[in-house]
Amino acid sequence: MKSEHLIDALATQGWYIWDDFLSLKQVQEIKLAIPQQLTDARIGNGEKLQENKNIRGDQTLWLEPEMGEPIALYMDKMEELRQLINRQLYLGLRDFETHYCRYPQGTFYKKHCDNFQGKGLRKVTTVLYLNEFWQSGDGGELAMFNNDDQQLATVDPIGGRLVIFMSEDFPHEVLPTKTERCSIAGWFLSQKVF
C-alpha cells in the first residue's frame, strides 16, 4: 500500500515520490476546472512580496473547493493525507493551502526553501504534476537538495505523480522548461490560516 510507503519514507528520508497518485483522467478533469485567469508568481512575503522573473517565471492561482468538483475531490484527498500523516507521524498539521502553477516554455524557479527552519507555518510540501504528455527532454524537472547543497534527486514532472517532502529540509528548484509545465503546489500547515 503506497500510503505505508509514504509514511516510512517521510519518517526515514523526509521525502517520497508517489506515482499514479491521480489517474490521467483525474488530471485532465482538474485542468479543465482551472480558471484561465492566472497571476504572475511573486517571491517573498508580506511587505517584501515582489515579482522577479530572474528567480521565478510561473503563473499561479490559489485553489478553492468551490472552483469545481475535480478540485474539491483533490482537496478531499489531500485532507485524507493530512490526517494520515498526523496519525502516523504526529506532526500537528492543521490546514492545507494550495495553488495551481503554470510554467510557460523557457521559465523556471531557482533554488529556494518553502519554509526556513522554524520561521513559518509550512511543514510538508506537496507537488502534484498535471503534465499528461510529458516526455524526456521537455524540461521542468524538480531538482531536490539537502541542506548541505548536495543534489538528492531530479524528479520528472509526469502527470498524476505526487512529490511530498518536509518543507524545512529540502531546498529545491524547477529546472527550465522546454514546453509548458503544469502542477499543483501545496503545503500542510502547522496552523489554520483562516
Range of the domain at 143: 2-35+57-189
Please check whether residue 40 lies inside any domain of the structure. Answer: no
Residue 45, pLDDT > 80, answer: no
Q: How many structural domains comprise the chain?
A: 1
Q: Which residue has the higher pLDDT, 180 or 1?
A: 180
Q: How far is it, in rounded angstroms, from Cα 15 to Cα 126?
A: 10
Q: What is the pTM of this model?
A: 0.92
Please check whether residue 113 lies inside any domain of the structure. Answer: yes
Q: What is the pLDDT of residue 47?
A: 61
Please check whether residue 45 lies inside any domain of the structure. Answer: no
The interaxial angle of helices 69-89 and 2-12, nearest 10 deg, is 50
Q: Are 165 and 15 in contact (CB under 8 A)?
A: yes
Give the pLDDT confidence of 93-146 residue by residue, as tens digits.
999 999 999 999 999 999 998 876 666 789 999 999 999 999 999 999 999 999
Identify residue 115 by its one-letter amino acid code. Answer: N
Give the pLDDT confidence of 59-95 residue by residue, as tens digits.
999 999 999 999 999 999 999 999 999 999 999 999 9
Q: What is the pLDDT of residue 40?
A: 77
Please check whether residue 143 lies inside any domain of the structure. Answer: yes
Residue 43, pLDDT > 70, answer: no
Please report, for the domain that includes residue 88, its CATH number: 2.60.120.620
Q: How far is it, in rounded angstroms, from Cα 87 to Cα 92?
A: 9
Please check whether residue 50 lies inside any domain of the structure. Answer: no
Q: What is the pLDDT of residue 37?
A: 87
Burial 60-98 (b: 16+ CB within 10 A, else e): bbebeeebbebbebbbeebeebbeebeeeeebebeebeb
Q: Are 102 and 131 in contact (CB under 8 A)?
A: no
Q: Are 100 and 70 in contact (CB under 8 A)?
A: no
Q: What is the pLDDT of residue 165?
A: 97
Please check whether residue 51 lies inside any domain of the structure. Answer: no
Q: What is the pLDDT of residue 116?
A: 61
Q: What is the pLDDT of residue 52?
A: 58
Please check whether residue 43 lies inside any domain of the structure. Answer: no
Helices (H) and strands (E) in the chain, counts: 3, 11
Please check whether residue 194 lies inside any domain of the structure. Answer: no
Query: What is the band of 42 on the pLDDT scale with cuts at 50, 70, 90?
Result: low
Q: How many CB atoms lie within 10 A of CB 108?
A: 19
Give the pLDDT confidence of 142-178 residue by residue, as tens digits.
999 998 999 999 999 999 999 999 999 999 999 999 9
